[in-house]
Structure 1
Amino acid sequence: MRVVSICPSNTEIVAYLGKTDVLVGVDNFSDWPKEVEELPKLGPDLSIDMDKVAELKPDLILASLSVPGMEKNIAALKERGLPHIILNPNSLDEIARDIQTVGEALGDPDLGEDKANTFRSQIARYRTRAQRRQTTPRLYWEWWPKPIFTPGKANWLTEISQLAGACNIFATEDVANFQTTWDQVKKRDPDHVCMVWVGVKEEKMRPELVKKRPGWNEMKAIKTGNIHVMEESLYCRPSPRLLEGLQKLDKILGS
């Protein structure tokens, strides 16, 4: 079977299933696991080169709507009549269902179900552990600095926060992505600032500039030095690797 993935989270689901050998091409941002680095690159996930995709003669293309703007990829796939499925998870349960969906699409539904159940079991263990936490740290997740975007209630990072025994300060907003302001963040006064700028490597993020935002030196997170530069690849992609991110968050919070 010849499979193309045009989104990093889809590539990571294939890897979670142990099926990277079926991949014949991926988007430019698919960087995990290491073996996919050698595959043909088909362009950034928001502007896939469909001519290159068609040249690979795939049996299946794993498409996505996880980032605004990916709709044009779907339109191009439909226009060309290329075989594809679309994944668009916002919650951990939806990621589990997508693991099953991809397993079925790759011709191994039993594997998909088994790996999805493993994923759910890991989540259940963290949920039990979170219930034993004595305090509930309040987290501000910064997805983009200017304008500020942060995950809302309908996003996996709200669940990841809860599974670490914490809470997302913008879980009050019933959307997946919420545009906010420096002032609103300051008013909500988080215990921790988690920097996970989408598409930006950790070494390029500047926490010292975040600390200089007007009035932020009065926030608990800044006073206590709890500002964390974190791997966007472990928190910004709806894939099973979120559990690796959860494990790291758990250590940061001292669970």
Structure 2
Amino acid sequence: MRVISHTASNTEIVCALGAGHLLVGIDADSDFPVDVVRDLPKLGRDLQLDLAAVEALRPDLVLTSLTVPGHERIVEALNQRGIPTLVADPVSLEDVFDDVRRIANALGMPEAGARLAAEMDAAMPQRVGGKAARVLVEWWPKPVIVPGRDSWITGLLQRLGAHNPWHDRPNKSQPVTPDEVVSARPDLVITSWCGVPEHQLRPANVIRREGWQTVPAVSRGAVHAISEAYLGRPGPRLVEGYRQLAAHLDALAD
């Protein structure tokens, strides 16, 4: 079977299933696991997928998604060319587990999918007790964009016994104003900017923002960076995101 992955999360799911050998091409942002993706053809970033190159690789299946605005155009173009696709569009954490199983089923390895989904679920247990800390996860700095109700991040925080201040906003993400952040009073701010390498995340810039000095997280210095690879990719490495969030939450209680 010849498989192309159009998103980093799908690439990581395929590899975690032990099926990396089926990949014949990937998107330009798929960078893990390095030993699998290093030598694979890179077919462009999410919204600049080289459709002719995809077609030339004669895939039996393209794993794509709707997690980025504009992806629907790529999915439509793949369909117009008659290229078989599996489209992931996870909203909740449970949707992520479902996508793991769906992808595994499409690859003919349902048992591996069930096992991986169960392992991920078990590795992110529900934590109970203590005050539910308010956590601002920042997808982008200008304007500040945060997850809403329809985000696996909201579910991830709930499992940690924490709280997304915008958990009731009926969207995947939205911009927020400085006044809204001040009113939300987050206890912890996590920078996880989409597409930005971890070494370029700038918690210090958040602390210096005008008007944010009364925010509890800022006044306490509880502003930290977690790679988008661990929070923004709905796949197996969300487990590492859970662990890093848990460590920062535990530090609040010390």
User: Equivalents in 1 of 2:43, 2:220: separation in Å?
Assistant: 44
User: Equivalents in 2 of 1:222, 1:114: separation in Å?
Assistant: 41
Cα shift at 1:167: 0.8
Residue aligning to 1:30: 30
User: Equivalents in 2 of 1:222, 1:122: separation in Å?
Assistant: 30
Cα deviation per residue 1:148-187 (whole Å; 9 max; x = unaligned)?
Answer: 2100111111111122221111113121112211110011
Cα shift at 1:12: 1.1
- 8 A Cα contact 1:17 1:115, kept in partner: yes
Residue aligning to 1:151: 147
User: Equivalents in 2 of 1:241, 1:86: separation in Å?
Assistant: 19
Q: Tell me the TM-score normalized by structure 1.
A: 0.94
User: Equivalents in 2 of 1:96, 1:69: separation in Å?
Assistant: 24
- 8 A Cα contact 1:3 1:24, kept in partner: yes
Cα shift at 1:243: 1.1
- 8 A Cα contact 2:64 2:87, kept in partner: yes
User: Equivalents in 1 of 2:162, 2:185: separation in Å?
Assistant: 14
Residue aligning to 2:211: 215
Residue aligning to 1:12: 12
User: Equivalents in 1 of 2:133, 2:123: separation in Å?
Assistant: 22
Cα deviation per residue 1:133-154 (whole Å; 9 max; x = unaligned)?
Answer: 3221110111111122100111
* Secondary structure, counterpart of 2:169 in structure 1: coil
Residue aligning to 2:184: 188
Cα shift at 1:36: 0.9
| Structure 1 stretch displaced more, 104-113 or 152-161 | 104-113
Letter in 2 for 1:234: Y
Residue aligning to 2:237: 241
Letter in 2 for 1:26: I
User: Equivalents in 2 of 1:56, 1:154: separation in Å?
Assistant: 35
Cα shift at 1:120: 2.7
Residue aligning to 1:39: 40
- 8 A Cα contact 1:195 1:228, kept in partner: yes
Residue aligning to 1:89: 90
Say which of 130, 133, 150 aligns to 1:134: 130
> Unaligned stretches of 5+ in structure 1?
none
Residues 207 and 55 of structure 1: CA distance in aligned 2, closer, same or farther (over 3 Å): same
Cα deviation per residue 1:56-86 (whole Å; 9 max; x = unaligned)?
Answer: 1111110111111111111110111111111
Q: How does 1:70-109 map to 2 (within 5 A)?
A: 70-109=71-110
User: Equivalents in 2 of 1:152, 1:214: separation in Å?
Assistant: 24
Say which of 197, 204, 207 aligns to 1:201: 197
Residues 88 and 134 of structure 1: CA distance in aligned 2, closer, same or farther (over 3 Å): same
- 8 A Cα contact 2:230 2:240, kept in partner: yes
User: Equivalents in 2 of 1:220, 1:120: separation in Å?
Assistant: 31
Letter in 2 for 1:142: E
* Secondary structure, counterpart of 1:46 in structure 2: helix
Give every structure 1 segment of 4 or more consecutive aligned residues whose post-TM-superposition deviation is greater than 6 Å.
Answer: none
Q: Tell me the TM-score normalized by structure 2.
A: 0.94
Letter in 2 for 1:16: A
User: Equivalents in 1 of 2:94, 2:66: separation in Å?
Assistant: 17
User: Equivalents in 2 of 1:135, 1:178: separation in Å?
Assistant: 26
* Secondary structure, counterpart of 1:31 in structure 2: coil
- 8 A Cα contact 2:181 2:215, kept in partner: no
User: Equivalents in 2 of 1:218, 1:32: separation in Å?
Assistant: 39
Percent of aligned pairs sharing the same letter? 40
User: Equivalents in 2 of 1:32, 1:209: separation in Å?
Assistant: 28
Residue aligning to 2:250: 254
Letter in 2 for 1:202: E
- 8 A Cα contact 1:90 1:238, kept in partner: no
Cα deviation per residue 1:191-223 (whole Å; 9 max; x = unaligned)?
Answer: 111101101112222222222222211111111
User: Equivalents in 2 of 1:61, 1:209: separation in Å?
Assistant: 39
User: Equivalents in 1 of 2:111, 2:241: separation in Å?
Assistant: 27
